Structure 1
Amino acid sequence: MLEMRPCCETCGKDLPADETGAVICSFECTYCKDCARNTHKGICPNCGGGFYPRPLRKGKALAKHPASTERIINRPS
């Protein structure tokens, strides 16, 4: 099951599971659209893969399988 990380791993922006605006790579690294496009130029800094819109999790599905609360932030040097 997709982990649904709660924030951008670069800037820390909140990315709620039931709202658009998050992108992920195949390893579930999670970024806001701005960081994915402008900071990382469309390439995941962790695995070298591309980004795809993260699916939404809403309503009963979100209640039964809540998003992660662990914030992972790896700011670029």
Structure 2
Amino acid sequence: MLELRPNCECCDRDLPPQSAEARICTYECTFCASCAETVFAGVCPNCGGNFVPRPIRPENKLLKDPASTKRQLRSAPCGARTAA
């Protein structure tokens, strides 16, 4: 099951479970659409894979299987870190 990580690993933008702006790779590295497309040109900086829109878990399923609350940020530079 996907963790549904709560933020962009680059700019730290909030990405709630229902966000259509979240992008993930095969390892579930999570970025906002803007960083995934403009900073990383569609290639995950962590694993080299591509990004796809993160699925949205229906609200009634979040009660049983909630999204992660653990925020993650890249330790390596990923462009200017300005909160969106």
Q: Give the TM-score taking structure 1 as reference length.
A: 0.94
Matches within 5 A, 1:30-69: 30-69=30-69
Partners of 1:52 and 1:39 in 2: how far apart? 15
Q: Which amino acid aligns with 1:19?
A: S
Could you report, residue by residue, the CA deviation over 1:23-70 in whole angstroms, capped at 9, with x for unpaired residues?
000000000000000111110000000000000012210111111010
2:13 matches 1:13: yes
Partners of 2:25 and 2:59 in 1: how far apart? 24
Residue 31 of structure 1 aligns to a residue whose secondary structure is: strand
Task: Give the alignment's Cα RMSD to 1 decimal.
Answer: 1.1
Q: State the 4+ residue runs in structure 1 displaced beyond 2 angstroms.
A: none
Q: Which residue in the other structure is 1:29 paired with?
A: 29
Aligned residues: 77
Q: Which amino acid aligns with 1:3?
A: E
- Percent identical residues: 52
Show structure 2 runs of 5+ residues with no match. Answer: 79-84
